Structure 1
Amino acid sequence: MADAAATTKLAELILKRIRTRGDITFASFMESALYEPDLGYYTSPGRKVGAEGDFYTSMNVHSAFGRLIAREIGRFFELLGTPASFTVAEAGAGGGQLAQDILDAAAEENPALYAALTYRLIEKEPSLKEAQASRLERHAEHLAWSTPEELAKGELSFTGCIISNELFDAMPVHLVEMTESGLKEIFVSADGEGFREKLLAPSTAELENYLRRFEVRLMPGQRAEINLAAPAWIASAAKALERGFVLTVDYGYLAEELYTPQRRNGTLLCYYKHSTNEDPYRQVGEQDITTHINFSALIEAGNEAGLASAWYGEQYRFLLGVGLIEELMKLEAKAKDEQESLKHRLAIKKLMLPEGGMGDTFKVLIQAKGVEKPQLLCMRKWGMGL
C-alpha cells in the first residue's frame, strides 16, 4: 500500500518534511494531502466534482436533491416559529451547487422563508468565494461567508440550521491497527523509494478511549479509522446555534456496523477520475481520500453539546418522506419530451436506489436544539401529509 514513489510536487514536499522532522501520523498526512495550501486536493485549482471531476455527490445528480432539502429547511423555519431572521449555514459549500438549488427552491416555493433567509457559506478554500458569488448572483442579498475557523472558535451565533453534504468523510482520520501486542497507530515514514508505513504506539490516548466508548473490539490485523475532528465540529455547530437544527448527509454507519470484523482493512478509499483505489500514497494532492463516518460519534457528541437526535436513516427514506414522488411528478409534468422525462427518472432513481445507487449508502442525521420532539417532513409516511 505504501510503495508509491513521490510523483507529485506535494508528495515531494511531504517526504522532505518527514525526512527533516520525523514520522507523522496518517491523520497529518491526510490533512496535507487534502488541505495543504495551494497543493492539497481541496485547496488546489481544478474541478473535483461531477462529470469532469473525480466523483459525484447527490447534489450533482439532480437539482431535486437540493430542492427537497429546501423543503425540510422550510419545516425547520416553521418549527422555529418563522423568525424574522433565519440562517442556513452550509459547511463545505464547494462550488455552490447545493446552495443554488436550495435558494432557488426557497425563492420559488417559500417566499416567507426566502425573505427571512441569510445563506452563510462556510468554506475552507478562499478562492471558491468568487465562484460561489458568481453562481449565486441572483441571490446576492441573501449571502454571507464565514471560515471554518470562525465556526470552530465560536464566533458565529444564529437561529436556523447548519447543513453539510459529504463534509465529514473528507476530514483527516487517524488509522489504527490491532496487533497481538495491542493497539498501534499507523505513522507515515519515508525512505529512498517514497512513503512507508510504520506501526507505532498511539499518538494520543484519545484513540483507545474512542474505541472503548463505542465498545469497538478490533480483531488482530484489523484496521480502522478514527475521526477525532468530527465530534469537535458537532460541538462547534451546537454552540453556533441559538435554536435550530443540524442536518448531515454523508456515507457511514453506526459504530456497531462500521467496525465489524468484515471490514478488516477499514473503509478508506481514494477517488481519481471516477475510479477508486485504496492507496492514499498515489497521486498525492490529485486524488480524493475519504472514509465512512461513525454516525454514533456525531449523535453522542451532539447529545453532549445540547443537540437532540431527531431523525437518522437512509437517504432514500429521507427523500421519500420530504416529497420525492411529488417532486418527480412535477418534473415529469414540466418535461418537454419523453427524453427529458426519462433523464429526470434515471437521476432520481440514482438518488434513492440501494445497491449501486446512493439511496442506502448515504445516511441523513438531523439534530435539534431548543425544539422539543420536532415533527419533521422526513418522518411522514411516504406520499402523505404530516
Structure 2
Amino acid sequence: MAEAAATTKLAEIILKRIRSRGDITFASFMESALYEPDLGYYTSPGRKVGAEGDFYTSMNVHSAFGRLISREIGRFWELLGCPDSFTVAEAGAGGGQLAQDILDAVSEENVGLYAVLTYRLIEKEPSLKEAQASRLERHAERLAWSSPQELADGQLKFTGCIISNELFDAMPVHLVEMTEDGLKEVFVSADASGFRERLLPPSTPELDAYLRTFDVRLMPGQRAEINLAAPTWIACAAAALERGFVLTIDYGYLSDELYTPQRRNGTLLCYHKHSTNEDPYRLVGEQDITTHINFSSLVEAGKEAGLAAVWYGEQYRFLLGVGLMEELMQLVAQAKDEHESLKHRLAIKKLMMPEGGMGDTFKVLIQAKGVQDPQLLCMRKWGMGL
C-alpha cells in the first residue's frame, strides 16, 4: 500500500506537487484524489454509481428507498406544524436519482407538502446541475440549487430538513497509526517510483484530542481514520436550519465499535468497477476512496450545534418503521407478472437484509432542532431510540 506507480494524469500532478512543496497528509492526498477540479474521482466526467459505475447505493437498488424516505420527510413537515414553506436540502445530490424518487412520491402521496416544498440540491460538482435539471424536469418549479460552499459560509437559512445518502464516507480523512513512540500520522511522500507513506508527528493537535474525546485507545500497529470535516459539516447544517431535521444515511458505527482492535488496518476501502481494494495510490482519480464513519462524532458535533439526536439504528429498522412491508405488499399486488413481483421482492430484500445486503451495513441518524421529543415514523414498533 505504501507505493504505487503513477498511472494517471492526476497521480503525476500530485507527485509533482509533493516533490516541489513537500510531503502532504493523507487527508490532503484523498482530497485531491476525489475532488481535484476536472480530474478527481467525483469531479471528472463519467458514471460513478449503478451498474455502469463503480458501486451501488441504496437508491440504485429500488425507487422504494426514496419513497420511504419521503414519508418520513412528510412526518417532519407535520411535526413542524405544516409550515407554508418547507425545504428539503439534499447534500451530495449526485445525478438526482434520490431527489426524483422523493419528489415523485411526495407529488403523488402528499399534495399539501408538495405545494410548499423547495427541493434544494447541494452538489460539489457543478456539471451535474444540467443532468439533475433534466432528470427532474417535471418538478422544475420545486427545485433550487446551492453549492457546498454556500452551506459552509452560512448563506442558507430555512425550515425543513437536510438529508444525505453516503455523503460522509467520501470526505477526506486523516490516517493515524499508534507506534511504540506514540501517535503518528500518515503523510504521503514521493520518490522516483511513486508514492510512499511516512509516519510523522500529527499535523494538528485535533487528532489526539479527537481520540481522547471518544476514549479511543489504539493498539501498537493499529491504524485508524479520523474525519475532521464531518463535525464541521454538521455544525454548518445546524446553522442553516431554523427548525427541522438532519437525516444521515451512511455506513459506519458508533466510536466504540468503529475503533475496535479487530480493525487493525482501519476501514479504508477503494472501489473500481464493482471490485474493492485497499490501495488508494493506484488509479488515482479513477477509483473511489471511502471509509466507515463515526456516528458518535456526528452526534457530539450536533449536540454542540443545537441538534438533538432523536433516532439511530440500522437501515432495515428505519425502513421497516416507515412502512417497508406495506410498500412491498403494494408493489407485489400491482406487479404485472411473477417476474416483476420477484424483481421487487429481491430488491427490497437487498435493502433490508444483513450479511451481504444493505440492511445492517448502513445506519440512519436523525437529529432535530427546535422540535421537542418528535415521534417519528421510524420509531413505530421497529424503532430503536438512541
**Range into which the TM-score falls when normalised by the shorter chain:** over 0.9
Residue 373 of structure 1: aligned partner: 373
What displacement does 1:381 show?
A: 1.2
Letter in 1 for 2:35: Y
Please show how residues 194-233 of structure 1 align to structure 2 within 5 Å.
Answer: 194-233=194-233
Query: In the superposition, relative to structure 1, how do residues 353 and 220 fare at CA in structure 2: closer, same or farther (>3 Å)?
Result: same
Residue 258 of structure 2: aligned partner: 258
Give the whole-Å Cα distance in 2 for the aligned partners of 1:113 and 1:273.
39
Residue 123 of structure 1: aligned partner: 123
Q: Secondary structure at the match of 2:98?
A: helix
Letter in 2 for 1:143: L
> Superposition RMSD on alpha carbons, in Å?
0.7
Question: Retained in 1: the 8 A contact 2:307–2:369?
Answer: yes
What displacement does 1:334 show?
A: 1.1
Please show how residues 124-203 of structure 1 align to structure 2 within 5 Å.
Answer: 124-203=124-203
Question: Retained in 2: the 8 A contact 1:331–1:341?
Answer: yes
Question: Retained in 1: the 8 A contact 2:26–2:188?
Answer: yes
Question: Retained in 2: the 8 A contact 1:223–1:264?
Answer: yes
Residue 82 of structure 2: aligned partner: 82
What displacement does 1:240 show?
A: 0.2
Question: Retained in 1: the 8 A contact 2:96–2:136?
Answer: yes
Residue 302 of structure 2: aligned partner: 302
Residue 50 of structure 2: aligned partner: 50
Give the whole-Å Cα distance in 2 for the aligned partners of 1:71 and 1:116.
16
What displacement does 1:333 show?
A: 1.2
Residue 103 of structure 2: aligned partner: 103
Q: Secondary structure at the match of 2:40?
A: coil
Give the whole-Å Cα distance in 2 for the aligned partners of 1:373 and 1:15.
52
Give the whole-Å Cα distance in 1 for the aligned partners of 2:114 and 2:2.
50
Residue 68 of structure 2: aligned partner: 68
What displacement does 1:210 show?
A: 0.1
Question: Retained in 1: the 8 A contact 2:354–2:361?
Answer: yes
Letter in 1 for 2:126: P
Letter in 2 for 1:379: M
Residue 268 of structure 1: aligned partner: 268
Q: Secondary structure at the match of 2:90?
A: strand
Question: Retained in 2: the 8 A contact 1:308–1:368?
Answer: yes
Give the whole-Å Cα distance in 1 for the aligned partners of 2:3 and 2:145.
41
Give the whole-Å Cα distance in 1 for the aligned partners of 2:46 and 2:292.
24
Residue 243 of structure 1: aligned partner: 243
Question: Retained in 1: the 8 A contact 2:222–2:261?
Answer: yes
Give the whole-Å Cα distance in 1 for the aligned partners of 2:2 and 2:143.
44
Question: Retained in 1: the 8 A contact 2:3–2:197?
Answer: no
What displacement does 1:382 show?
A: 4.6
> Taking structure 2 as the reference length, what is the TM-score of the superposition?
0.99
1:116-165 C-alpha deviation (Å, 9 max, x unpaired): 10000000000000000000000000000000000001000000000000
Give the whole-Å Cα distance in 1 for the aligned partners of 2:4 and 2:304.
42
Residue 342 of structure 1: aligned partner: 342
Give the whole-Å Cα distance in 1 for the aligned partners of 2:381 and 2:304.
31
Give the whole-Å Cα distance in 1 for the aligned partners of 2:348 and 2:117.
27
1:206-243 C-alpha deviation (Å, 9 max, x unpaired): 00000000000000000000000000000000000000
Residue 284 of structure 1: aligned partner: 284
Give the whole-Å Cα distance in 2 for the aligned partners of 1:3 and 1:43.
24
Q: Does 1:364 align with 2:361?
A: no
Q: Secondary structure at the match of 2:217?
A: coil
Give the whole-Å Cα distance in 2 for the aligned partners of 1:279 and 1:382.
39
What displacement does 1:3 show?
A: 2.0
Q: Secondary structure at the match of 1:27?
A: helix
Give the whole-Å Cα distance in 2 for the aligned partners of 1:335 and 1:20.
62
> Taking structure 1 as the reference length, what is the TM-score of the superposition?
0.99
Letter in 1 for 2:80: L
Question: Retained in 2: the 8 A contact 1:244–1:370?
Answer: yes
Question: Retained in 2: the 8 A contact 1:252–1:258?
Answer: yes
Residue 317 of structure 2: aligned partner: 317
Give the whole-Å Cα distance in 2 for the aligned partners of 1:205 and 1:3.
27
Give the whole-Å Cα distance in 1 for the aligned partners of 2:121 and 2:71.
19
Letter in 1 for 2:131: A
Give the whole-Å Cα distance in 1 for the aligned partners of 2:149 and 2:52.
30
- Structure 1, unmatched stretches of 5+, are none
What displacement does 1:2 show?
A: 2.1
Among all aligned residue pairs of Structure 1 and Structure 2, give the percentage whose two residues are the same amino acid.
Answer: 87
Q: Secondary structure at the match of 2:285?
A: coil
Letter in 2 for 1:300: E
What is the aligned length?
Answer: 383
Residue 9 of structure 2: aligned partner: 9
Q: Secondary structure at the match of 2:207?
A: helix
Q: Does 1:327 align with 2:327?
A: yes
Question: Retained in 2: the 8 A contact 1:323–1:382?
Answer: no
